[in-house]
């Protein structure tokens, strides 16, 4: 196999359903259809004819998605099977073998793996913990040249929860424009801002921008597997061609539920529910971390359903710690090794508060026991 293993997704798939406490979910506790939909909306879903539907996304769904972006219409939108397919399709649309790609790290590393399989030349620019996870844009400017084909952003960021400032966005765009490079912005957590102020998309700020989105994270609807790409019309048409060779279409029921979920009033209800959960759980996590004094270092996220925590235990490998906790305490955390950053772990804060409290207590006991015996 030429493609590198996608470690983060593989270990989550293997372990998140085999423990009593999965504390590393990167989204929010999912809705049921009964919670999400009114009786009339449920009836509409029940009466849906289970055909294929339009392969690039239903017209009502694409028109609704287009309203979330400036100067956008349905021809600028491609609906995909989750944002994971969107990332795969985007890479094969925008990149050729051997192209140079510069990626923000830490990050959701799917695009890194896809680009590596395509024999692209990969470079990283870094979010700096000492700067509260702000990006090192001087580093990005040094790395970017006319040979750079694409700059990859994750905003809000997975796993740190950092959101770019307006001036940082402007500078990234200026760097890309100077070198005629594409910007690909993963915006799957847009809408999950703790302060309730939705960040601006990169889309519409530069003519060589493509963004992804979807219902799995900020909307707490991961089971729908509904994502999308937004970009220039001619590029979206090319992406549709690749989509024809991957999944062909997202499911018709996902289309229908997505059309409902993204209507303005329903969308606001969903996002407000999830932001409330985030803010309550962040306080719970901060209190829990403070109990251990200086053992943890933590910069609160500005958005998203997770936090990225550093621990002070020289010689304690994050994967070994994660495995021991899973096997001995039935609690699962994603190790920093999945991001190439040992000494950290990712904690989800989008769960039910009672579940989080119970899980954190189990985690506390487990970490203390691990440190005693190792």
* Residue pLDDT, tens place only, 176-206: 999 999 999 999 999 999 999 999 999 999 9
Q: What's the average model confidence in pLDDT over 146-168?
A: 97
Boundaries of CATH 3.90.1150.10 in the chain? 7-31+267-373
DSSP state of 29: P
Instruction: With a cut of 60, say whether residue 263 has pLDDT above it.
Output: yes
Q: What's the average model confidence in pLDDT over 20-35?
A: 94
Q: Between the CA of residue 80 and those of 32, 41, 230, 319, what are the distances in Å? A: 22, 23, 11, 32
Instruction: With a cut of 70, say whether residue 5 has pLDDT above it.
Output: yes
Q: What's the average model confidence in pLDDT over 161-166?
A: 97
Boundaries of CATH 3.40.640.10 in the chain? 39-263
* 284-343 confidence digits (pLDDT tens): 999 999 988 889 999 999 999 999 999 999 999 999 999 999 999 999 999 999 999 999
Q: What's the average model confidence in pLDDT over 45-70?
A: 96
More confident residue, 61 or 340: 61
The answer to whether 244 and 55 have CB atoms below 8 angstroms apart is: yes
Q: What's the average model confidence in pLDDT over 212-217?
A: 97
Which helix (H) or strand (E) is 153 found in, with range?
A: strand 148-154
Residue 26 pLDDT level (bands cut at 50, 70, 90)? confident
- The residue whose two tokens read 């001995």 is 328
Domain 39-263 fold is 3.40.640
Residue 1 pLDDT level (bands cut at 50, 70, 90)? low
Phi, psi at 4, each rounded to 5°? -70, 150
Hey, what CATH class is 7-31+267-373 in?
Answer: alpha beta
Q: What's the average model confidence in pLDDT over 338-361?
A: 94
* Average pLDDT over all residues of the chain: 95
Instruction: With a cut of 80, say whether residue 6 has pLDDT above it.
Output: no
pLDDT at 42: 96
pLDDT at 16: 80
Residue 256 pLDDT level (bands cut at 50, 70, 90)? very high
Neighbours of 187 (CB within 10 A): 25
The lowest-confidence range among 14-18, 183-187, 251-255, 268-272 is 14-18
State the Cα–Cα distance between residues 53 and 50, nearest whole angstrom.
Answer: 8
Task: Kindly give, in sequence order, each residue whose CB lies less than 8 Å from that of residue 328, ignoring residues fewer than 6 positions away.
Answer: 366, 369
The lowest-confidence range among 2-11, 44-53, 337-346 is 2-11
More confident residue, 13 or 23: 23
Torsion of CA 248, 251, 256, 259, to 10 degrees: -50
Longest dimension (CA), the chain: 60
State the Cα–Cα distance between residues 3 and 157, nearest whole angstrom.
Answer: 24
Residue 374 pLDDT level (bands cut at 50, 70, 90)? confident
> Cα 258 vs. chain centroid, distance in angstroms?
18
pLDDT at 25: 87
* 80-139 confidence digits (pLDDT tens): 999 999 999 999 999 999 999 999 999 999 999 999 999 999 999 999 999 999 999 999
The answer to whether 140 and 101 have CB atoms below 8 angstroms apart is: no
């Amino acid at each position: 196999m030429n493609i590198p293993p996608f470690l983060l997704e593989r270990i989550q798939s293997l372990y998140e359903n085999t423990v009593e406490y999965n504390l590393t979910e990167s989204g929010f506790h999912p809705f049921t259809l009964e919670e999400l939909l009114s009786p009339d909306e449920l009836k509409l879903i029940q009466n849906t004819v289970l055909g294929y539907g339009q392969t690039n996304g239903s017209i009502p769904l694409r028109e609704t998605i287009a309203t979330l972006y400036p100067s956008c219409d349905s021809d600028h939108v491609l609906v995909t099977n989750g944002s994971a397919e969107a990332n795969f399709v985007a890479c094969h649309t925008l990149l050729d073998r051997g192209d140079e790609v510069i990626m923000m790290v830490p990050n959701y590393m799917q695009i890194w793996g896809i680009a590596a399989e395509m024999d692209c030349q990969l470079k990283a620019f870094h979010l700096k913990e000492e700067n509260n996870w702000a990006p090192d844009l001087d580093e990005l400017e040094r790395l970017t040249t006319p040979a750079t084909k694409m700059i990859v952003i994750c905003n809000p960021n997975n796993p740190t929860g950092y959101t770019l400032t307006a001036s940082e966005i402007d500078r990234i765009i200026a760097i890309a424009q100077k070198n005629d490079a594409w910007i690909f912005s993963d915006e799957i957590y847009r809408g999950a801002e703790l302060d309730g102020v939705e960040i601006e998309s990169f889309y519409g700020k530069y003519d060589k921008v493509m963004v992804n989105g979807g219902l799995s994270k900020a909307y707490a609807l991961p089971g729908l597997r509904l994502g999308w790409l937004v970009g220039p019309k001619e590029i979206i048409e090319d992406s549709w061609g690749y989509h024809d060779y991957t999944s062909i279409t997202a499911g018709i029921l996902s289309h229908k539920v997505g059309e409902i979920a993204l209507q303005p009033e329903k969308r606001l209800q969903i996002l407000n529910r999830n932001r409330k959960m985030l803010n309550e759980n962040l306080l719970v996590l901060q209190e829990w971390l403070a109990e251990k004094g200086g053992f943890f270092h933590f910069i609160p996220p500005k958005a998203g359903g997770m936090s990225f925590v550093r621990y002070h235990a020289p010689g304690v490998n994050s994967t070994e710690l994660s495995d021991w906790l899973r096997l001995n305490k039935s609690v699962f955390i994603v190790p920093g090794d999945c991001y190439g950053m040992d000494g950290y772990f990712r904690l989800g804060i989008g769960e039910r508060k009672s579940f989080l409290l119970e899980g954190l207590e189990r985690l506390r006991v487990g970490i203390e026991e691990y440190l005693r015996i190792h």
